[in-house]
Structure 1
Amino acid sequence: MFSPEGPSLRELAVQALSSVERGYDLLAPKFDATPFRTPETVLDATASALHRMGPFGTGLDLCCGTGAGIGVLRRVCRERVTGADFSAGMLAVARRRVRGAGPPVDLVRADARALPFGPAFDLVVSFGAFGHFLPSERPQLFAQVRSVLRPGGRFVFPVAAPARPGSAAYWMLLGFDAVMRVRNAVWRPPFVMYYRTMPFSALGRELSGAGFRVRLQPLPEFGRRADGSPRVRLVVATRPQDR
């Protein structure tokens, strides 16, 4: 799973027994060499879809990590891009990565559940972060995202189709979540990272409850499953215009 540049088994064990924040501080220098980083194929497909929706003025990468999503925003935003994450280590790596042409970038250490912004953004994206929030925390998280969007602004993120019951991916994700639940039952501080806590049905309901209009857009680059359903969708949640 890991390249030679990635973390060792010992390093992963230390990170897994830390808090989420401390674990990512430790993992940050080698994070981009792990399978946890969002693949370029997903980033490119999302950027292509956003190009068709845009252009946008200002953008926020929520839980930006080492800055993979910031690169997407710099392709589709004209004015300014912001990355927010609560790991100082991940932000330090992101600062080193931000270079080249594009709008200026601000990197802010912040908790996604208490964002230090007003309604300043036309677009918010997030990649691979929602497993770090318990189901009970998502309504607050989505309300925070809505609060930092301008009227008409969009909250956009990719979601893969759920693994089919009985498939290898299904059992792998189920096993991972089970291990994390046992770990959090016997060890403190907790490390919240689950893969199977955000079904489509709950996602649409919670975003609508936070005041968004929600639609799902297939990402054609990933094709369709045997039953015709998209392998990957883009969630597009829009803050309605004020009346």
Structure 2
Amino acid sequence: MESKNYRILVLSDLRKTSTTILKNTASLAKMIGGEIALLHVKQPLGVVKQDNQLSAVRSINDTYTSTKSQINALVNPITEDYGVKISTTFKVGNVKEEIKKKIEEFHPDIIVLGQRKSKPFKLLGSSITKHIMSTFDGLVLIASHEQKIGSDKELSLGTLNSSKNLMKMGLLEQLMKQSSQPLKLFKIKHGKTESTQEELADRHMVEYVFEPQDNAINNMSTYLTRTNVDLLFMDLDDIANTNINVKNVIGKFNVPFLLAGKQKSKINNSLN
């Protein structure tokens, strides 16, 4: 069966963390044969600061020139190092509208949002994050500003409180084929969550089950570090059936997340 060609849209604010985020995306794209598009949008008020029309035009032209140079300086070395093509778009306008237009034009399977280094869970503009989480039906990658996906070692994958439906996700199956490491299942006990040892061995998986205590997330974060997980999958439909706080999880875990499920619109109000 022919592999799916994934389209990945990176929403970038061009901050210092953008290099690691784009490297993570390029590494993922190389593994799955993905196509990358990068979008950067500036608000008009941040570009045009004078009422004079001639000065305004000059400011817009100068901004386009300097920003395109900044984007090229970010993208070109990564394109060369990873051997993946990255198309770029820079727009001056309403951020949400420009994102909407790009989604309609590019039809991404995955949208990449960057996690800010300064705060535990401050993403690329909280209103933009909420907008994406509530309107986009595809996968959302929350990229770590520090950890790199499969940079110099074999890929290590994990899931959080996942059901058998997540195991059938094409992207997860595709990535699992590229690693001899077992899939790591992290679970906070909720009813009967444990699998039998025979099931785990047969499916090449290892399960870590935590009691639903106040320090469960901290304990899980420690095990994520110990087991060197590069990418953690979360199906929000599965998470919605537990008492797990998604904001708390993403704030505590310094690992890239891939969010799936139709519950994104229901949890986006907690992303403040």
Q: Fold-level match, TM-score > 0.5?
A: no
Structure having greater relative contact order (Cα 8 Å, sep ≥ 6): 2
Give the structure with higher Rg (CA). 2
